[in-house]
Amino acid sequence: MHGSATGGVKLLLRAEGAFVLVAAVIAYAKFGLGWSVFAWFFLAPDLAFFGYLAGARAGAVTYNATHSYVGAVSVLVIGALFSLPEFAAAGLIWCAHIGMDRALGYGLKYSIGFGFTHLGRIGRAKSDA
């Protein structure tokens, strides 16, 4: 397997994802734009799945671009620095989504296929192992 986490490291990464999810939801409750906005945009990063229509490599690139904390935290910081509540809310929703995915074991993807992640194999890739 392509360097996936195992054992205690994998458990720690999944717990970290759960912590980010909870922290982002708590922060959103205090600083957000309402739960309807949260609900509408919570699954937006998963639109990156359409990248897989162009193949496993393109899919991995689009998925990883929308499921890395780099973009989410950048949007959150821009919102905080420039007093832009929409950006702050978007960053928190995005962080919550990534945290949920990581807590459930959906990690960043390798270009060999959707089921190969830094947290281990998922889906059919897991059953094929």
Q: Which residues contact 3 (CB under 8 A, 6 or more apart)?
A: 118
Q: What's residue 124's pLDDT?
A: 72
Per-domain residue ranges for the chain?
Answer: 7-122
pTM: 0.92
pLDDT digits (tens, 9 = 90+) for 68-105: 999 999 999 999 999 999 999 999 999 999 999 999 99
pLDDT digits (tens, 9 = 90+) for 8-18: 999 999 999 99
**Strands lying side by side in the sheet with 120-121:** 109-110, 113-117, 120-121
Asked if residue 128 has pLDDT above 80, the reply is no
